[in-house]
């Protein structure tokens, strides 16, 4: 498996909720996503960056190096706004300044179907927002001016 790069149509898929937890296929996909994220020095990776089936799943490595699995994540609240340079494993060698919430609170399930709640600030909040945006079929290109998007696409082609 490999990470899909822009302009893969899979990145535009609105991912569907998981209905059955703790099954062999899902567990293999989660393990593969974690492996790919770590091998590529990423902080997060969504299902539709790797698989064309578009499940509502992402993985994230927090600042303490704990790896989280988010299945069917739901944003409870977002607070504040920050502009940070952001990169994405599906957009190699591209960094774009993006507006994100400073804080997020999310509820989700782990691979066993156990619900958990996490509140994050700073870089972790940015990562969670970025990955949920992927699950909604959007990339960090959304909201960019046409000129900034053209410039980024030129850099991608190089």
The catalytic residues are: 131
Residue-by-residue DSSP string for 95-125: EEEEEE-SEEEEEEE-TTS-EEEEEEEHHHH
69 forms beta bridges with 59
Q: Strand locations in 25-66, DSSP E?
A: 44-46, 57-61
Reduced to 3 states, what is the DSSP secondary structure of residue 89? coil
């Amino acid at each position: 498996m490999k990470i899909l790069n822009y302009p893969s149509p899979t990145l535009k898929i609105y991912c569907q909720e998981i209905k059955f937890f703790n099954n062999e296929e899902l567990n293999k996909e989660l393990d593969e996503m974690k492996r790919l994220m770590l091998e590529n020095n990423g902080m997060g990776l969504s299902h539709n960056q790797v698989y064309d089936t578009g499940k509502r799943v992402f993985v994230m490595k927090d600042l303490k190096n704990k790896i989280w699995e988010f299945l069917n994540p739901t944003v409870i609240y977002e607070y504040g706004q920050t502009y940070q340079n952001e990169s994405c494993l599906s957009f190699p060698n591209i960094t774009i300044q993006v507006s994100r919430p400073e804080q997020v609170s999310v509820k989700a399930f782990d691979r066993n179907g156990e619900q958990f709640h996490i509140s994050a600030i700073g870089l972790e909040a940015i990562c969670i927002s970025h990955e949920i945006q992927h699950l909604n079929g959007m990339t960090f290109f959304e909201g960019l001016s046409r000129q900034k998007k053209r410039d980024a696409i030129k850099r991608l082609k190089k």
